[in-house]
């Protein structure tokens, strides 16, 4: 069984959409594209826009650090007129002329690179060292963290509330995940300006909060050609999407009419894989995948969206991540 077949094994009883249909039996690709624009506009209107518009890319690169498997450097990327966000670039020691690249998103940069870089939280869990594993496999990797960690200096709930208050005071009406999607565009700008990156082979990857960040980044930037989202909790009711640093309490209102099968469908036909653990994501997540599959099918790419459930809880397993890395290799290498 090849890697695409592995992530398209739908459990019995979960072959349907659970009522999340976006397309009709009579839908054509052309009619879908018109509907897609309406869905995208509706989401952008809800998430809000950066009042400062689109910034010209500015980056502050620190000195290179040599590690056994890569060369790395801190990079501060301008995401607002007066704010540069801390990121980290990992480059394989054996570069080709044009390399696939990954944008990796998480609370901090430390855990993803497998090294304590002075952040407030470092999880010494090798299955989460996404960036380190990817650079070993030949990817150029940029790790970006959740916004305002440099302002709040941490990852506790109180720190998130401080960050949200700062954002609301500075940019009222801008949702946390709207800002995340906007910030990631500047990370992609940076990757695209590197002469050794193949701009047609850039993916995004994230776990938990990072998976949420990855979903919104991919939905609103088609420079992302493949996505791996681990245990984000794809349904609005699955996890804490109502938290003020994500969307807000209105998502629990019975009249709220947005959900994430729409964002999965905006990503079509670009390959997308969800890693589930029966915690945030589970077999019910297939309803969202199946709804989006109907859109992928219009493009002739029905098998390019899938899910793998390791069924062991929220933290990813080594086996699940090996499947994810092989899946990325299939599409980006």
> In the Cβ-directed half-sphere of 184, how many Cα atoms lie within 13 Å?
34
Backbone angles phi, psi at 255, to 5 degrees: -95, 0
* Token pair in block for residue 91: 């480059």
* Residue 61 CB neighbours (<10 A): 12
The residue behind tokens 């079509």 is 268
Closest C-alpha among 179, 160, 153, 158 to residue 49: 179
Q: Which domain holds residue 222?
A: 3-332
pLDDT of residue 150: 59
Sequence length of the chain is 333
pLDDT of residue 210: 97
**pTM confidence score:** 0.96
Q: Is there a cis peptide before residue 269, judged by omega within 30 degrees of 0?
A: yes
Backbone angles phi, psi at 129, to 5 degrees: -80, 60
* Residue 25 CB neighbours (<10 A): 6
Tens digit of each residue's pLDDT, the chain (333 residues)? 899 999 999 999 999 999 999 999 999 999 999 999 999 999 999 999 999 999 999 999 999 999 999 999 999 999 999 999 999 999 999 998 999 999 999 998 999 999 998 776 788 889 999 999 999 999 999 999 998 765 655 555 677 788 888 888 989 999 999 999 999 999 999 999 999 999 999 999 999 999 999 999 999 999 999 999 999 999 999 999 999 999 999 999 999 999 999 999 999 999 999 999 999 999 999 999 999 999 999 999 999 999 999 999 999 999 999 999 999 999 999
Closest C-alpha among 273, 268, 277 to residue 310: 277
Q: For the chain, what is the domain count?
A: 1
Q: What is the CATH number of the domain that holds 106?
A: 3.40.50.1820
pLDDT of residue 281: 98
pLDDT of residue 165: 86
* Residue 19 Cα distances to 14, 15, 256, 259, 296, angstroms: 12, 12, 16, 12, 17
pLDDT of residue 168: 87
Give the Cα separation of 242 and 71 in Å (integer): 39
């Amino acid at each position: 069984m090849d890697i695409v077949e592995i992530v398209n094994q739908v459990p019995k009883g979960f072959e349907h959409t659970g009522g999340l249909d976006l397309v009709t039996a009579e839908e054509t690709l052309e009619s879908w594209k018109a509907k897609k624009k309406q869905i995208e506009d509706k989401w952008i209107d809800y998430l809000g826009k950066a009042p400062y518009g689109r910034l010209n890319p500015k980056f502050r690169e620190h000195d290179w650090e040599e590690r056994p498997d890569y060369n790395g450097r801190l990079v501060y990327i301008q995401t607002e007129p007066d704010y540069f966000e801390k990121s980290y670039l990992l480059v394989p020691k054996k570069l080709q002329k044009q390399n696939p690249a990954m944008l990796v998103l998480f609370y901090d940069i430390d855990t993803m690179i497998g090294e304590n870089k002075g952040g407030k939280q470092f999880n010494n869990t090798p299955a989460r060292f996404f960036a380190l594993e990817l650079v070993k496999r030949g990817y150029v990797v940029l790790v970006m963290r959740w916004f305002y960690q440099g302002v709040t200096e941490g990852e506790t709930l109180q720190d998130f509330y401080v960050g949200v208050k700062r954002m609301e005071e500075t940019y009222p009406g801008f949702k946390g995940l709207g800002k995340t999607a906007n910030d990631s565009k500047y990370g992609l700008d940076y990757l695209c300006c590197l002469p050794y990156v193949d701009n047609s082979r850039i993916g995004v990857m994230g776990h938990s909060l990072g998976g949420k960040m990855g979903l919104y980044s991919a939905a609103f930037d088609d420079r992302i050609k493949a996505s791996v989202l681990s245990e984000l909790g794809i349904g609005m009711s699955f996890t804490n999407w109502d938290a003020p640093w994500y969307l807000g309490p209105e998502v629990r209102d019975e009249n709220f009419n947005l959900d994430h099968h729409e964002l999965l469908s905006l990503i079509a036909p670009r390959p997308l894989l969800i890693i589930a653990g029966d915690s945030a994501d589970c077999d019910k997540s297939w309803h969202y995948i199946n709804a989006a599959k109907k859109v992928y099918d219009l493009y002739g790419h029905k098998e390019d969206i899938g899910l793998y459930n390791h069924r062991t809880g929220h933290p990813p397993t080594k086996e699940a991540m090996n499947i994810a890395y092989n899946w990325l290799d299939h599409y980006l290498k």
